[in-house]
Amino acid sequence: MAAEAAAKTAAKTAAKTAIHRLSGMQKQVLSLYRGFLRAARSKPQQDRFRIESIVASEFRRNALQVDRKNFLYIEYLLRRGRKQLDQLKSPDTTGLSSVDPSSRTDH
């Protein structure tokens, strides 16, 4: 059963800036990312690949779009991401799908 993967949390580091120490929030983001990748390992290979692609692109999309100082929103994304990760860890879940808000049509 697919779990919805909405927007995830932002990764704070830009590739070119020097990273000396990770902030607490950055660590949480990376920890969540790692959690998703670990959970994906336990899924069948095809599902694993798909999960990894979706998670990778969601995290990077947020890294670009979310202001790194928008702590409230980032914390919200972290909370939501953790819930989704819990769902993903269930053996019944074999994949994620992501919804692109811009592709919604309004009735």
Which residues sit at the interface with another protein, rule CB under 8 A? Answer: 11-16, 18-19, 22, 26-27, 30-31, 33-34, 37-38, 56, 59-60, 63
Query: 8 vs 95, which CB is nearer to another protein?
Result: 8
Whichever of 69 and 92 has its CB closer to another protein, that residue is 69
Question: Rounded to the nearest whole angstrom, what is the least distance from the CB of residue 104 to another protein in the complex?
Answer: 27
Distance set, CA 83 to CA 46, 61, 102 (Å) = 23, 19, 24
Is residue 13 within 8 A of residue 19, CB to CB? The reply is: yes
Compute the radius of gyration of the chain from its Cα atoms. Answer: 14
CB of 22 to another protein, least distance (A): 6
User: Which residue lies nearer to another protein by CB, 28 or 94?
Assistant: 28
Answer for the pair 91, 44: CB distance below 8 angstroms, yes or no. Answer: no
